Amino acid sequence: MAATPEKPVAATPRRKAGRHRGEGQWAMGHHTPLNANEQTKKDDDGLNVRTRIETIYAHRGFDSIDGADLRGRMRWWGLYTQRKPGIDGGKTAILEPEELDDSYFMLRVRIDGGRLTTEQLRVIGEISEEFARGTADLTDRQNVQYHWIRIEDVPEIWRRLEAVGLSTTEACGDTPRTILGSPVAGIAEDEIIDGTPAIDEIHRRYVGNKDFSNLPRKFKTAISGSPLLDVAHEINDIAFVGVHHPEHGPGFDLWVGGGLSTNPKLGVRLGAWVPLEEVPDAWEGVVSIFRDYGYRRLRNRARLKFLVADWGAAEFRRVLEEEYLGRALLDGPAPEQPVQHWRDHVGVHRQKDGRYYVGFAPRVGRVDGTTLAKIAALAQEHGSGRLRTTVEQKMIVLDVAEEQIDSLVSGLEALDLQVRPSPFRRGTMACTGIEFCKLAIVETKGRGSSLIDELERRLPGFDEPITININGCPNACARIQVADIGLKGQLVLDEAGNQVEGYQVHLGGALGLDPAFGRKVRGLKVTADELPDYVERVLTRFREERHEGERFAT
């Protein structure tokens, strides 16, 4: 099916223009770009920028990069300019975007399903050391992000990544982003179904495919057959969640329309059961609806969640079945309530083959190239060469024999990678923040790390599962809206009336089958300096006043 604005997907409009006439839906005949982003995408497919990087920009340097490529199409290959060092958060809002650009890039490596081999991890570590000043953060979408990347080095980085089966293709941009997968797919004792074949097939068919490289906005996918619901399926554009159908056996429950950031929404169930082999077709149907009917006028109304909210689940399913799949989907059951709060697989757990997997917690996802190389060596020595990343900025070594566990745990803990972390180390996540992100207002990673230290010192026996998510701006990269304690970075006034770094507090968010967005506590803002005292007070009060079995979010 054609997919560019010049070649409409439907020869005649599929529907009459109605309430949302003029929102840029291609299926309703609106092909004139309604904003600069849409114009950039119409002018040239983002995937085409690779050739210019390889043949022009990498040879002539940063200043040769076309403006529309620099701030638009580079993202189709995982590249964003990073923040110029030394610009404080107070200036972020008043400077033009180009004044914040450094001549270095952030580069995101997509790791679909979070699956890595030790060889891949070793190469990721080597690239970090050689081209990224040692940086390599684990993200909460199972990816790795580098900083300090020079455009001159990008072709060589691609060559090395692709030689071991990794890529940066569509790691950013208005594209199908990295496909989240259960970090214990194929090995967990309690697994309902292994979604790995569907992840691989979707990747093979659709990633880097120009039929789907001009979407209204980013498109996030999650597929997991784990009863722990371990891929944050509620906040993805499309999610396939493992369920047992009473007649047909294991398969997936289909969810659409989740997403945080502007106007956060939880995904909705379509009530449809999809067998493993039909997941790629269902995925294609949903992403095609998004491409054809998605709103393209306003960037902050362009995610699939707005279309789903306007149509409702029943209408969305009808369009999917009648216009895209040409058949009805089977009805199916909802997932069951997960049996535990933690969904990150940290700790030592038995696999279905009798071996063990060992999950560990770096601090707020921050690792570095040297550490990654050492993790790869440990995994090689103690396992079979397989690792996974999680959606909580954690990692897992697979296939460890029982007699190797203690040695692996000691080796990891010697690198400050804890297998039995405190709830604070385990439950704290932070986005990139002001160190590198152009949108950031405050610092995040360093503050998250020092908050962990303070809480461990002040609350030594605290053993409740708790999530503390720290964002550097009002966006949602660290999922503040669904944390027990969500901290949204902004400038606040200190006691003396000075503008300083601080956070708007959101309390009581949760994922799981009882998901909720945290409540923005009216007027509750803390300065960065007050943060440890504030969190200590909240947790102490919770511990003293909670009833038996009560969780923070309830």
The footprint of ligand SF4 (CB under 6 A) covers: 431-433, 437, 439-440, 471-473, 475, 477
Q: What angle do CA 266, 183, 304 make, to 5 degrees?
A: 25
Min dist. Cβ of residue 436 to ligand SF4 (A): 8
Is 256 in contact with 238 (CB distance < 8 Å)?
yes
- What would the two tokens of residue 301 be? 């109304």
Pick from 55, 52, 92: nearest CA to 69: 52
Shortest reach from residue 432's CB to ligand SF4, in Å: 4
CB of 59 to ligand SF4, least distance (A): 30
* Distance (Å, whole) CA 181 – CA 351: 17
Q: Identify which of residues 144 and 346 has a Cβ nearer to ligand SF4 in the complex.
A: 144
Residue 168: CB minimum distance to ligand SF4, A: 17
Token digits for 164?
């071991």
Nearer to ligand SF4, 262 or 404 (CB): 262
In 3D, which of 467, 462, 480, 450 has the Cα closest to residue 552?
A: 467
SS3 state at 171: coil
Q: Are 378 and 411 in contact (CB under 8 A)?
A: yes
User: Could you tell me if 396 and 115 are in contact, meaning their C-beta atoms sit under 8 angstroms apart?
Assistant: no
Which of 235, 238, 142 is closest to 182 using CA atoms?
Answer: 142
Nearer to ligand SF4, 74 or 477 (CB): 477
Q: In terms of CB distance, is 65 or 431 closer to ligand SF4?
A: 431
Distinct helix (H) and strand (E) counts, the chain: 17, 21
Identity of the residue, 120 or 428, whose beta carbon is nearer to ligand SF4 in the bound complex: 428
CB of 302 to ligand SF4, least distance (A): 17
The nearer residue to ligand SF4, 439 or 538, going by C-beta atoms, is 439
Instruction: Tell me how far apart the alpha carbons of residues 222 and 226 are, in angstroms, rounded to a whole number.
Output: 12
Residue in 256, 257, 272, 189 with CA at minimum distance from that of residue 225: 189
Distance CA 362, CA 357 (A): 16
- Shortest gap between Cβ of 138 and ligand SF4 (angstroms)? 14
Identity of the residue, 3 or 79, whose beta carbon is nearer to ligand SF4 in the bound complex: 79
Measured from the CB atom, the residue of 243 and 441 that comes closer to ligand SF4 is 441
Q: How far is the CB of 475 from ligand SF4 (least distance, A)?
A: 4
Q: Look at strands 485-493 and 468-471 and give their pairing.
A: parallel
CB of 532 to ligand SF4, least distance (A): 20
Which residues, other chains included, contact 11 with Cβ-Cβ below 8 Å and sequence gap of 6+? none
CB of 444 to ligand SF4, least distance (A): 6
Taking the complex as a whole, the smallest distance from the CB of residue 486 to ligand SF4 amounts, in Å, to 11
Q: Which is nearer to ligand SF4, 111 or 431 (CB)?
A: 431
Nearer to ligand SF4, 265 or 341 (CB): 265
DSSP string over 258-295: -B-SSS-B--EEEEEEE-GGGHHHHHHHHHHHHHHHS-
For ligand SF4, give the closer residue by CB, 356 or 503.
Answer: 503
Is-contact 498 480, C-beta < 8 A? no
Give the Å distances, CA to CA, from 262 to 276, 300, 305, 345.
Answer: 32, 6, 10, 30
Chain Cα centroid distance, residue 51 = 27
* 265 neighbors 517 (Cβ within 8 angstroms): no
CB 477, min distance to ligand SF4, A? 3
Q: What is the three-class DSSP state of 85? A: coil
The nearest distance, CB 434 to ligand SF4, in angstroms, is 7
Nearer to ligand SF4, 80 or 356 (CB): 80
3-state helix, strand, coil in the chain (%, to 5): 35, 25, 40
Give yes or no for a contact between 45 and 4, defined as CB atoms under 8 angstroms apart: yes
Q: Residue 503 forms beta bridges with which residues?
A: 489, 526
Q: Among residues 208 and 433, whose Cβ is nearest to ligand SF4?
A: 433
- Please state, in angstroms and rounded to a whole number, the distance separating the CA atoms of residues 305 and 112: 22
CB of 73 to ligand SF4, least distance (A): 19
Intra-chain end-to-end CA distance of the chain, in Å: 47
Place of tokens 């600069």: 36
